[in-house]
Structure 1
Amino acid sequence: MPITLIIIALTGVVSFMALRDGRLMARLIFWPPAVARGREYQRLVTYGIVHADFNHLLVNMLTLFFFGGFLERFYTAQLGVLGYVLFYVGGLIASILPSYFKHREDPNYRSLGASGAVSAILFAYILFRPWSMIGVMFIIPMPAIVYAVLYVVYSVVMERRGGGNVNHSAHLWGGAYGVAATLVVEPRLVGHFVQTLLNP
């Protein structure tokens, strides 16, 4: 079974269980003081397998389903199955670390969801196919590179504005990690991306 489908299945099952069991949610969610004081470092990963509600889970898992397979084939070819797993887990960690350092003494801060790792996969995919059409909210067609620019601008604005329940920082850092990690694995993608971008 493809690793992407295993991740989707695991995340779906655990998310549904945590939505029904508050104690399980409390053990898995990202809560900075538990990491800083309790040394519960597993929370830097487990927060990515729980979600706030069904819609949150659905959007992340559908995005992972549509784009994860492509990155899985790339990373498996380059580094083996473990390479893809490490890329995904790395996306979870890299996307949440800035939030950890910013809120590590804040007992009221919590974060959850796979959005950071999913952003890593989506932005890495755009390196390969910047002009491919993707469906915004799975409905509105848009070139992937245009979506990426709009997504970054929106996330930066919303992060600076503050408030709300969405960790926009995780989206931005996840996307940056996805691009950086993929370029480390295959530096020639820089030239491919530029050439493809200039020749739609």
Structure 2
Amino acid sequence: MLTFALIAATVLVSWLAFERPALLNRLILWPPAIDRSKQYDRLLTHGFIHADWSHLLFNMITLYFFGRVIEREISALIGPVGFVLFYLSAIVIAILPTYLRHRHDPHYRSLGSSGAVSAVLFAFILLQPWSLIFIPIPVPAFLYAIGYMAYSFWMDRRGGDNINHSAHLSGAIYGVLFMLFMDPGVGADFVQRLLNPRWG
């Protein structure tokens, strides 16, 4: 499945970047390199490198559990390549607000696939709002979404923890909008599912 291919590619590139600091520095989102050197590929490549193994593991486990469902749904709508395009575009779209905010900041750097993974997660929540997400206690997906958005918004305003909460927010919004654009009926289905709880 394409989800496994994306996971494999991310693990490989992240591992290589762990071993080669020069590679990490070339792939990381560093706004001045985009602005001055026109290295626009960094808007995408930063999503394939991570700060450490725990950062990588968390994102890839989340992608594994939710990506397979979304891959099936998107493949049914626009073909299997559509899921890859969704994921890659989510990396770019999720980071754009951050890039624009820090465009002239030579001290800012960002890396990780969290924005794209958030897009996948929220696309899943739109389809299955009553599925249980363990954090570690089981919480209905739509309640998790509300808490996740509120926390990300608050932490983005507060700052200071070296996590790009803005990308989480942008990715989540993109995941929902992408699914609604691909299949407008998803919105009505979401409301119906929300009004008719089915746990699990």
Tell me the equivalent position of 1:22: 21
Structure 2 alignment gaps of length 5 or more: none
1:111-164 alpha-carbon deviations (Å, 9 max, x no partner): 00000000000000011100111111xx32111111111001100110011222
Tell me the equivalent position of 2:58: 59
State the percentage of identical aligned residues. 53
Tell me the equivalent position of 2:192: 195
Take 1:103 and 1:50, find their aligned partners in 2: how far apart are those partners?
19
Instruction: Provide TM-score, normalisation by structure 1.
Output: 0.97
Take 1:82 and 1:106, find their aligned partners in 2: how far apart are those partners?
35
Structure 1 alignment gaps of length 5 or more: none
Take 1:8 and 1:135, find their aligned partners in 2: how far apart are those partners?
21
Q: For the aligned residues, what is the CA RMSD?
A: 0.7
SS at 1:40's partner residue? coil
Alignment of 1:3-82 (within 5 A): 3-82=2-81
Take 1:44 and 1:82, find their aligned partners in 2: how far apart are those partners?
20
Take 2:155 and 2:53, find their aligned partners in 1: how far apart are those partners?
23
Query: Deviating runs (4+, > 4 A) in structure 1?
Result: none
Take 2:123 and 2:36, find their aligned partners in 1: how far apart are those partners?
34
Matched, 1:176 2:170: no
1:60 Cα shift? 0.2
1:29-63 alpha-carbon deviations (Å, 9 max, x no partner): 01111111111111111000000001100000000
SS at 1:142's partner residue? strand
- Kindly provide the amino acid, as one letter, of the partner of residue 76 in structure 2: A
1:170 Cα shift? 0.1
Tell me the equivalent position of 2:110: 111
1:17 Cα shift? 1.0
SS at 1:37's partner residue? helix
Alignment of 1:118-197 (within 5 A): 118-136=117-135, 139-197=136-194
1:195 Cα shift? 0.9
1:167-197 alpha-carbon deviations (Å, 9 max, x no partner): 0000000000000011000000110001111
Take 1:60 and 1:129, find their aligned partners in 2: how far apart are those partners?
20
Alignment of 1:89-104 (within 5 A): 89-104=88-103
SS at 2:51's partner residue? coil
SS at 2:111's partner residue? coil
Tell me the equivalent position of 1:87: 86
Paired residues, number: 197
Instruction: Provide TM-score, normalisation by structure 2.
Output: 0.97
1:78 Cα shift? 1.1
1:88-117 alpha-carbon deviations (Å, 9 max, x no partner): 011101100001110010000000000000
